[in-house]
Amino acid sequence: MVRTLINLILFAFVFSAFAVGQPGFVTVNDHQFMLNGKPYYFVGANYWYGSLLGLEKDKNRGIERLRKELDFLKKNGVTNLRLLGGAEGSGFLNGVERVGPPLQTSLREFDESSLNGLDAVLAEMAKRQMKAVIFLSNNWEWSGGFQQYLIWTKVLPDKWLTAKPSWDELRDNVAKFYSCRPCIDAYERQVMLVLRRTNMITGRPYIDDPTIMAWELANEPRPMRPAANQDYSAWIADSAKMIKRADRNHLVTTGHEGRIGTESLKLFEDVHAMPGIDYLTIHIWPRNWGWMERGKMAEGFSNAMGRTTDYIEEHIATAKRLKKPLVIEEFGMTRDRESFDPASPATMRDLYYTKVLSYVRSNPYVAGANFWAFAGTARPVKDQVFWKKGDQYTGDPPMEEQGLYSVFDTDRSTWRSISSAARRAAK
C-alpha cells in the first residue's frame, strides 16, 4: 500500500511537470503562453542582426555592442527578441547586397562557424533571462532565403542575382519554392543543422536551451501565387512536423504576416490550425501596404490607425476560433515626415506604437508584440540611403532606407511608449 501511494505521488508529480512544461521553457495552454506555471506576456523587438554581431572581429562593433544593447533592452523591459537563424549565399540577390556571413554557403554546403554569432547572442540573452524566436529562412532577398535555393537548383536563372524583379516577377519566382523538392531538401538540411547545434559557449544543445522560445519556419513565408497554396500548406505541415520530431521542448510557428500574406483569411487560419503550429503570428505594415500614401504621412495616419485596429481584431477572432495565442511580431511606422534622421521627431510613430502595444495582455489572446526594429547604438551613414557591406547593421534590412523604421537607443519618446507597455505586460 505504501509503495502504491508513493508511485501515485510520483506519477502525479511527473504529470504535473509535463503539463506545465520543463522549467524555463515557454509552453502553450489554450490561448496563453505559459512560463514556469504562470501566463507569459511580453513586449519584444525584432533584432535579427543580433545573431551576426558576435562574428564581428572588432569587439566594439561586435560582442561589446551586443552586450550593451541587450542591457539597454532589458532595462527597458524588452525581453523577447526575434533573431535570424542563418543566411543563405552571399553577394547580391535581386540587386541587393545580403547580410551575412552565410550559414549555407552553396547548395547543401555549410559554414557552421557562422553559428558562433547565434551562440553568442543566446548565451548573453540567457544571462539576462530573455527569450528568442529564431526564423530559419526568408521569403525575401536580404538574407538569401527561398530565391537563393531556387537559383542554386537552376529553377531560376542567375540573372536574378543582379536583376531587380517587378512585383509580379517576384511572386512568380518565389512561388516555385514550394514545389521544388531539391530546394526544400536544402532548407530542411539547414534547419536540422541549426536544431542539432550545441552552443560552443554554454555547452548546451539548442534543443535543451530554454532561452529559445520558438522556431519559426521563415520570415514572412507567402505562397505568393494562389496556384502554390496547396504546396505551401504541405510545406508548412511537413516542416512543422520535422521540427517537432527533432525538438519536443520548443514551440513552432510560421513567421506569417496574416491575411495579407496569404491573400486569404481562410488559408491563414487553415495553416495555423495545424497541430504542429503552436501560435499565430501577424505583421503590420501600413506604409508598405498602401494604408497611407508615401509622402503624405500626416494625411494618411488616421486611416492607417483604423485599418491597423481592424487587422488586429480580425486576427484576434481567428485566434479565438483556433484557441491559440497571437503575437503581433512585426509592426513598423516611420518617423515624422518619413525622415531617416535619428534626431527627427517620432510623434506619430509613438502614437502608433502605443496603440499596437496596448493589445498585449489587455486582450488575453494577444500574448506579445515585437516592434520593427531595434537599431541600438548604430546610426545610418550620413548622405547614404542604403546599407553597404561593411556598414554597421541597423534594424532596416539592406533593401530599405537605413533609419526608415529603426528605433535607436536615443529615441526617448518611443522608449517611453515601449517601456510603459512592457511594464503592463509583465504584471
The pLDDT value recorded for residue 26 is: 98
- Residues 259, 277: Cα–Cα separation, whole Å: 17
The answer to whether residue 249 is domain-embedded is: yes
Provide the strand spans (E) within 290-406: 326-331, 366-371, 374-376
The answer to whether residue 33 is domain-embedded is: no
First to last CA, the chain: 45
The pLDDT value recorded for residue 22 is: 72
CB atoms within 10 A of CB 151: 22
The DSSP symbol for 98 reads P
The answer to whether residue 36 is domain-embedded is: no
Contact 216, 134 (CB under 8 A): yes
pTM above 0.85, yes or no: yes
The answer to whether residue 251 is domain-embedded is: yes
The answer to whether residue 75 is domain-embedded is: yes
Three-state SS at 224:
coil
How many residues does this entry show for the chain? 427
Residues 296, 96, 222, CA angle at the centre, nearest 5°? 75
Cross-strand partners of 327 = 281, 368
The answer to whether residue 105 is domain-embedded is: yes
Phi, psi of 94 (to 5 degrees): 55, 25
**pLDDT in 10s for each residue of the chain, 427 residues:** 434 434 433 333 333 333 345 789 999 999 999 999 999 999 999 999 999 999 999 999 999 999 999 999 999 999 999 999 999 999 999 999 999 999 999 999 999 999 999 999 999 999 999 999 999 999 999 999 999 999 999 999 999 999 999 999 999 999 999 999 999 999 999 999 999 999 999 999 999 999 999 999 999 999 999 999 999 999 999 999 999 999 999 999 999 999 999 999 999 999 999 999 999 999 999 999 999 999 999 999 999 999 999 999 999 999 999 999 999 999 999 999 999 999 999 999 999 999 999 999 999 999 999 999 999 999 999 999 999 999 999 999 999 999 999 999 999 999 999 999 999 999 8
The answer to whether residue 4 is domain-embedded is: no
Residues of the domain holding 393 = 41-426
C-alpha cell at 303: 486611416
Contact 96, 142 (CB under 8 A): yes
For residue 230, the domain's CATH number is 3.20.20.80
CA 245 to chain centre: 22
Number of domains in the chain: 1
